[in-house]
Amino acid sequence: MRRLAKNLGLYLILIVLVVSLVNVFLSPTENPPDSQVISYSQFLSAVDTGKVNTVNINDSVIQGEFTSGESFKTYVVGVGDLAKQIADKGVDVKVEPPQKTPWWAAILSSLFPTLLLIGVWIFFLYHMQGGGGKVMNFAKSKAKLFLDNRPKVTFGDVAGCDESKEELSEVIQYLRDPSKFVALGARVPRGVLLLGPPGTGKTLLARASAGEADVPFFSVSGSDFVEMFVGVGAARVRDLFEQARKYQPCIIFIDEMDAVGRHRGAGLGGGHDEREQTLNQLLVELDGFDETTGIILIAATNRPDILDPALLRPGRFDRHIVVDRPDVKGREAILKVHLKDKKIADDIDLGVIARRTPGFVGADIANLVNEAALLAARQGKKVVEMDDFEEGIDRVLAGPERKSRLISPREKNIIAYHETGHALVAKHLPGSDPVHKISIIPRGHMALGYTLQLPEEDRFLMSKLELENKICILLGGRVAEELEFGDVTTGAGNDLERATQIARQMVMEFGMSDRLGLVKLGHKRHEIFLGRDIAEERNYSEEIAYAIDQEIRSIIDSCYSKVRQILTDNSEDLAKVAKTLLEKEVIEGKELDAILGMEEESPAVDELETGDSVKEKIPNPDIEDKTSYGADSIAGDNPDTVPV
């Protein structure tokens, strides 16, 4: 009966359609099947000549029989005195009263268009909302309520972000036992905003909060508030908080907050749109909490720069928790979490893997562990070995091997010298990260070869010398081609682009130009609705722009001269390593040291005594230094920082 009630609208439409079709197509036959149809003039002529025997007049239809016994039928508009005239001719006339339309047919005929429109509207809503049970539930929130079925994830399953867990633990403890906070006059934050790059575990932290907290948990995505109908988003926000008040104390989690919390008034053609009304209602609900309320709002986003300032002020989102990329210890802890249910060899060194994966976030490490397990299973191994992790890291960074790609011996020789040039320059520059691997095996979409450097520690500051060294290493491949073959190829295109970008940042952002001094030149404008970094505001003159170009060229030329001198002085080593690379295709760092007759060095970098710094303004040192031949980009670079 409940199912029948839910689909009553559809059944009503079907009944109306069936009755209408029956009324139209199954009406009774008006004349015998063998009667002939004659014109009205023929009928009058037959009456005048006495050939008509009987006539039956029914509204505008005249049926009768000739004296010869044949039946006929004709039509007339307005009978008038026709029956009397025919009777005067001696014809047997029978007049039937007009048939009355049944009351139900009259009602259906008058209401049928209206019912049809209503039925189409209900049918449309039925399919747009995903079923008859949601036909009229526009304003209902789509949040999922977890009571006894809360996620099983706990803080023990989250690693690499101890500070974030500690701050969330305070919120959970307040919900469990607010008395010790109230006794000191403390007020719990009304909103907690989780910020950080994609894949760092923001949503996982929220799920762990639900698993730790013994309170109801509402989970909803920011896009669930946005709808094509006006006013629906604001109504869903109201309904969500009305439901939460019934279950307080509780937690509301909104994932991808930037979908509903974007900056107001920045759209084209004015800012009064449906999304802004949803945000306005959310602001009202956040600010309308009672002091004694037990509702905590947790939101996650990787785009805090586009959120509305009113959403970030104290009293709404009081606490901002940054979930950043994990350091070496954090990556090792994340590896332990993901390896709990994996069969691994006894000689697996998680510390080495953690050092081998700088810049990896939690999602990257989970993908790495899965890739290593897949590689081991593909080779029929019983356990995952260290070689599988090494190959998995290469697959995540540069893509899968493409040994089937046919490369001519000449091009393979050029690639070998190119990658050897990168490696030799890195080995002879003090303070550079050690070379971990050189390969001329094609990987991914565009990489024909690559050189990997493994940082010995996580660093957050880079000196001018280190940046110049990176430019030199990037130019090493191009200079090696020029020295060996007397010609250059297009394979160094990405190297030149990245070297120029570092040099430009040194001049315009980091104040590392003696000529231009300690100034920051240019200002990037983040147009929220027109794309990211779509324009750069020039706050300098044409004369300064010319000086910038000269300084960038000066840095590049100086590094080029240094690289050319290094490779010229070590031309024999260049040929020796390139020949070995052609034979083996892959050279590890220790093998390279053996070929060059060098002991493994760990050059110390002078510590910098500096004040506070903003990490986003320097090239990201967490990412492995990757130089590749013929590759526009290699997977694994942090898109929010400069690839180096």
> In the prediction, which pLDDT does 589 show?
85
With tokens 């259906």, the residue in question is 108
* Tokens matching residue 347: 């000689």
Q: What is the mean pLDDT of residues 230-234?
A: 75
Q: What is the mean pLDDT of residues 322-346?
A: 88
Backbone angles phi, psi at 611, to 5 degrees: -90, -150
Contact present, 571 and 483 (Cβ < 8 Å): yes
> In the prediction, which pLDDT does 609 show?
33
* Tokens matching residue 578: 């390139």
Q: Is the pLDDT higher at 280 or at 565?
A: 565
- Residue type for 498, please? R
Q: Which residues are catalytic?
A: 419
Taking each helix axis as running N to C, give the angle between helix 493-508 and helix 464-485, from 0 to 180 degrees, rounded to the nearest 10: 150
Q: Is the pLDDT higher at 437 or at 460?
A: 437
Q: What is the mean pLDDT of residues 241-262?
A: 85
Residues 6+ apart with CB under 8 A from 337: 157, 158, 159
> In the prediction, which pLDDT does 560 show?
96
C-alpha distances out from residue 111 to 3, 107, 114, 115, Å: 26, 6, 5, 6
Residues 6+ apart with CB under 8 A from 399: 443, 444, 445, 447, 634, 635
Work out the pLDDT band at 552, boundaries 50, 70, 90.
Answer: very high
Residues 6+ apart with CB under 8 A from 468: 555, 558, 559
DSSP per-residue string spanning 269-320: T-S-SHHHHHHHHHHHHHHT--TT--EEEEEEES-GGGB-HHHHSTTTS-EE
> In the prediction, which pLDDT does 293 show?
66
Q: Which helix (H) or strand (E) holds 65?
A: strand 61-66
Task: Specify which of 85-94, 551-560, 612-621 reaches the highest per-range mean pLDDT.
Answer: 551-560
Closest CA to 14 of 135, 132, 115: 115
C-alpha distances out from residue 462 to 160, 251, 605, Å: 24, 42, 10
With tokens 């990896």, the residue in question is 360
421-450 burial: b if 16+ Cβ within 10 Å, else e: bbbbbbbbbeebbbbbbbbbbbbbebbbbb
User: Which structural domains are found in the chain, ordered by start?
Assistant: 31-96 (3.30.720.210), 144-322 (3.40.50.300), 328-397 (1.10.8.60), 409-629 (1.20.58.760)
Q: What is the mean pLDDT of residues 433-443?
A: 87
Q: Is the pLDDT of residue 576 over 70?
A: yes
> In the prediction, which pLDDT does 640 show?
33
